[in-house]
Amino acid sequence: MSSPPATLVSVDLDDAACYHAIHGLPPPDPEQARAALERWLPRFLELFARARVHATFFVIGRELRRDADDRGRGAELLRRALAEGHELGNHGHAHAYDLVRWPAERQRDDLRACDAALRELGATVEGFRAPGYTHDAELLRRVVELGYRYDSSCLPSPAYYATKLAVMGAMALRGERSSSLATGGRSFVGPVEPYRRRDVPLWELPMSVSPHLRLPLIGTFLLAGPGPLSAALRRAALRLPRLHLELHAIDLADPERDPIAPVLVERQPELKVPWRVRHERLWELLRRRGGGTTLRSAIPRDEPS
């Protein structure tokens, strides 16, 4: 069996509607909602080609359906991603943060709808990531039913979960309501390396965290965190023998060029850091890591899921 890849790269293609829901804001207008596929995705494709990265893009099914209804370019760009060697994964159809609470049949319908949309593009779908990372064994049984080989919903960072609860608590004090779940703490603990799950027949591919404190080594913190902390986390990411770098489409959003609601710019950390700074930080990290590859490449082909 070959050695595991040194750097795995995944990107959640969450649209502006996801962030409006997190912050308790009214839904974005249609042009703002299309930006993830039509504006942010192409920037990743261009950067990844330059940095020798093949990534896994986790796609929301309803984004694809809306794109088709609007005769947009999203499907075309995702087909381009496939042609360039990238992988497409299932991020749920509705991207419902409470998906883990839905009845089994409704979960099944949601995941199947996204799976069908991806296969219409020509994708061979093998992996799933839960909206907001929150998952349990029951939800993952729906993933197994689709014949997938892996899940990648674990972010083993108690610090991330604590920060999330603090932010939601502050929102509640202001009379605001987030769509994120305050429950699901088990999604933020566990092993930091890929492993075979015991509760369901899937591989688990956790997102990377820093040693000791287990701070999340994901785009929000690596590219847009407070200066000293962000730099320290990038150094930690460079030192890891194996890194699973999780990014979000909004990591390469540019408020100066893109249709983004000003109220979202005020609240979303990535949007407060200039695009060129985030872009350069990501390029330098990927360059020094020597590129990256898809999540499916981490699963031994000579072993069953």
Mean pLDDT (the chain, rounded)? 95
Mean pLDDT of 263-287: 97
| Distance from C-alpha of 191 to C-alpha of 194, rounded to nearest angstrom | 8
54 in any annotated domain: yes
Of residues 226 and 273, more confidently modeled: 273
158 in any annotated domain: yes
CATH number of the CATH domain containing 13: 3.20.20.370
Q: Is the pLDDT of residue 1 over 50?
A: no
Domain boundaries, position 42: 7-295
Of residues 201 and 163, more confidently modeled: 201
211 in any annotated domain: yes
| Distance from C-alpha of 86 to C-alpha of 80, rounded to nearest angstrom | 9
261 in any annotated domain: yes
Write the CA distances from 199 to 133, 165, 204, integer angstroms.
17, 27, 11
The encoded tokens of residue 73 equal 């370019």
What's the pLDDT at 5? 80
* Strand, coil or helix: 259: coil
What's the pLDDT at 219? 97
Query: At residue 298, what are phi and psi to the nearest 5 degrees?
Result: -85, -10
Of residues 135 and 181, more confidently modeled: 135
Mean pLDDT of 117-135: 97
Write the CA distances from 214 to 29, 101, 161, 244, integer angstroms.
37, 27, 11, 14
CA atoms within 13 A on the CB side of 118: 29
| Distance from C-alpha of 239 to C-alpha of 49, rounded to nearest angstrom | 23
Q: Residue 139: pLDDT band by 50, 70, 90 thresholds?
A: very high
**pTM, whole model, 2 decimals?**
0.96
Give the residue among 303, 91, 95 at the shortest CA–CA distance from 201: 303
Q: Residue 228: pLDDT band by 50, 70, 90 thresholds?
A: very high
305 in any annotated domain: no
Q: Is the pLDDT of residue 298 over 90?
A: yes
What's the pLDDT at 155? 98
61 in any annotated domain: yes
Q: Is the pLDDT of residue 305 over 70?
A: no
Q: Is the pLDDT of residue 2 over 60?
A: no
Domain count across the chain: 1
Q: Is the pLDDT of residue 303 over 70?
A: no
For residue range 44-94, list pLDDT tens digits in order: 999 999 999 999 999 999 999 999 888 889 999 999 999 999 999 999 999
301 in any annotated domain: no
HEC sequence for 16-59: HHHHHHHCCCCCCCHHHHCHHHHHHHHHHHHHHHHHCECCEEEE
300 in any annotated domain: no
The encoded tokens of residue 198 equal 């015991």
What's the pLDDT at 227? 87
115-124, 131-140, 169-178, 211-220: which range is least confident on average?
169-178
